[in-house]
Structures are given as structure tokens and as C-alpha cells.
């Protein structure tokens, strides 16, 4: 089993958290991509659970869960696709935060 896959998943999560927390949130930072932590952050900052940003975070959360529990046989197309998808989600989150700031400022 890939020794560094575990560490890579932690690093992917950290990267997303740093992107999200570049913005100053009203009450609390996002502290992890577990479902419970996302729910807490949504409630604490009175966000709309249907917001694009929240949906992207839940997507990333589900993707990381998939990668953590995949069978060795799945170290294949689906694994690679999911890994790339998480990197894409990170970029989408960055875009979403930038767009939201732009809307607020205009």
C-alpha cells in the first residue's frame, strides 16, 4: 500500500483549508473536511448549506473518504480521476471565494 498516500490526503485537506481560511470568517475557521466539521462551520458562520462553496467542500470531503477506503484494485482510473477531482475542487473553491468577494465589493 502506498506509504505516502495517507500523507498526501492530509496535505490535500490542508491545502483546501488554507484556501478557505484565507478569507476571514465571521465566527470560526473551517477546521477540517469531516462532515461534522463542515456542518459546524456552516452553522457557526450562518452560511447557506446550499451555497456552491459548501457543496464543493462536501464533494471534497466525499472524495477524500473514497480515496481513504479504496481497494488496491481501484488504484486505477477511478482513483486517479478522484485525485484529480480533488485538485479541481480546490481550484473551484478558490474561484468561488474570489467571485464572492468580487460580488460583495461591486
Partner 1 sequence: MLALVDGKDTRFDPNLFSIYSYKRLSELWALGNPFAWHLSLESRLVFASDDVDFINRLGMPSPYRNCVNDCAKFYSLFLEARESLMRDKRSMVFDLSTIFLSIRNLATCYSLGISGRPDFSRHSAIRLPNGAAVQISPDAYATIERARILTIRGCGDPIQETDADRIVPELKIIERWMIDLVERAKLHGHT
- The residue ranges that bind partner 1 (CB under 8 A) are 1, 3-4, 6-7, 10-11, 13-14, 17-18, 21-22, 28-29, 31-32, 34-40, 62, 65, 69-73
Beta strands in 1-106 (DSSP E): none
Which C-beta is closer to partner 1: that of 29 or that of 95? 29
- Residue ranges of the alpha helices (H) in 51-76? 52-69
Residue pair 85/63 in contact (Cβ under 8 Å)? The answer is yes
Which C-beta is closer to partner 1: that of 56 or that of 64? 64
Q: How far apart are CA 38 and CA 5, in angstroms?
A: 23
Which C-beta is closer to partner 1: that of 22 or that of 76? 22
Amino acid at each position: 500500500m502506498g506509504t505516502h498516500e495517507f500523507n498526501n490526503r492530509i496535505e490535500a485537506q490542508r491545502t483546501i483549508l488554507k484556501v478557505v481560511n484565507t478569507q476571514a470568517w465571521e465566527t470560526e475557521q473551517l477546521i477540517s473536511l469531516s462532515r461534522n466539521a463542515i456542518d459546524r462551520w456552516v452553522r457557526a458562520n450562518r452560511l447557506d448549506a446550499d451555497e456552491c462553496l459548501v457543496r464543493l467542500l462536501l464533494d471534497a470531503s466525499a472524495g477524500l473518504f473514497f480515496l481513504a477506503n479504496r481497494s488496491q484494485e481501484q488504484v486505477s482510473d477511478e482513483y486517479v480521476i478522484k485525485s484529480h477531482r480533488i485538485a479541481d475542487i480546490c481550484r473551484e473553491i478558490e474561484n468561488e471565494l474570489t467571485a464572492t468577494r468580487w460580488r460583495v465589493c461591486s
